[in-house]
Structure 1
Amino acid sequence: MNNILITGKPGVGKTTLIKKLIEELDLDAGGFYTQEMRIGGRRVGFKIITLDGEESILAHVDIKSPYRVSKYGVNLEGLEKVGVESIWRALEEKDVIVIDEIGKMELFSPRFKEAVNSALNSDKITIATILLAPNPYTDKIKRRQDVKLFYLTQENREKVKEEIKDILQQLL
């Protein structure tokens, strides 16, 4: 079971958990994180940051795009150039693939789905955050036999981190 998925409500610490695991276990990882963009305390968008430091805007209130989630226009080109390419690079060069996240904004991209499927079908370890809400694509991923799904809460964060650490140490 080399695919580890983490779900939970927004702001519960999914991204932070993955960052801690990579740091504490010194994982040879590639892929990307998603991070909020704020101006004066107000969220205005999200950016993608690869594990090797490349950045792109994923979505922003000022982006005019046919792809929208709530008030945010989604930047598919940025997602594909930076996020999707980081998954393909990790598949070729790294032991661990990080995908943060498999969410509503990212699912507009067929190229993103193709890269996710390749990562999950590979022999590499994939650690990903995944949409909590029902969705046909993500629900299918959650039901895969080769996936271990964790539901993260503020109360179980430390316990989940230790469980995932144990799994990773056995796989590496």
Structure 2
Amino acid sequence: MAGRPGSGKTTLIAEVVAALGHRAGGFYTRELRAGGRRVGFEVVTLDGRRGRLAHVDLPGLQRVGKYGVDLESFEAAGVDALEQAVREAELIVIDEIGKMELLSGRFRRAVEEAVASGKPILATVMLAPNPWVDRLKSHPGARVITLSPENRAEVRAEIRRWLNGLGLGTDADPSRPPPA
């Protein structure tokens, strides 16, 4: 899934994860805000761990725009969760395959292992051209859907049909969490 910032990619991922529960593994990315402005990002694993991905106040050589990237924290949480998902989950969730995450060679290897595993992957990818990401997008098993606020309901329904076809979904709307 690709889309501009604010198009709802992470929200849709969170809805799918809530509907699938323990059958999915991986991580999603969340904004960190202070005083009404975005100051960074954290990864949240589907088993509840958190790790800092980037922050405006983080010094160092690894930078994307105004953000310093915390590769050690990202790998300890997000990449570990991705590697575990390749081994154990029925659906691999990666939010996001973007500039910050691609600074990690371990992350790129884990994504390649996920693709090679043959397991279904629900991922968000950067819109901007990138040779490594473009190669993933052109993989024979890949389908890239561009999400926008206007087509969100349609994309949600399409993902639900895909999951049902894989035997992973339910006919319930993934925007509603499963009953307790």
TM superposition score normalised by structure 1:
0.94
The equivalent of 2:149 in structure 1 is 154
SS in 1 for 2:43: strand
What is the CA distance between 1:23 and its match in structure 2?
Answer: 2.3
> Aligned runs of 1:140-151 on 2, under 5 Å?
140-151=135-146
Which of the residues 32, 47, 58 maps onto 1:63? 58
Asked which structure has the greater RCO (Cα within 8 Å, sep 6+), the reply is 1
Q: Does the 8 Å contact 1:58/1:75 carry over to 2?
A: yes
What is the CA distance between 1:171 and its match in structure 2?
Answer: 1.0
Runs of 4+ in 1 over 2 A off after TM superposition: 22-27
Q: Does the 8 Å contact 1:96/1:124 carry over to 2?
A: yes
Instruction: Give a deviation string over 1:115-156, Cα, whole Å, max 9, x none.
Output: 001111212111100001111111111111100110001110
> Aligned runs of 1:123-134 on 2, under 5 Å?
123-134=118-129
> Aligned runs of 1:51-130 on 2, under 5 Å?
51-130=46-125
In 2: Cα distance, 1:33 partner to 1:26 partner: 14
What is the CA distance between 1:168 and its match in structure 2?
Answer: 1.1
CA RMSD of aligned residues (A): 1.1
TM superposition score normalised by structure 2:
0.90
The equivalent of 2:23 in structure 1 is 28
What is the CA distance between 1:24 and its match in structure 2?
Answer: 3.2
The size of the alignment, in residue pairs, is 167
Q: Which stretches in structure 2 are left out of the alignment for 5+ residues?
A: 168-180
Identity across matched positions, percent: 50
In 2: Cα distance, 1:12 partner to 1:83 partner: 22
Q: Which stretches in structure 1 are left out of the alignment for 5+ residues?
A: 1-5
In 2: Cα distance, 1:86 partner to 1:119 partner: 12
Q: Does the 8 Å contact 1:27/1:96 carry over to 2?
A: no
Kindly indicate which of the two structures has a greater share of residues assigned to strand: 1
Q: Is 1:50 the counterpart of 2:50 in the alignment?
A: no
SS in 2 for 1:151: coil
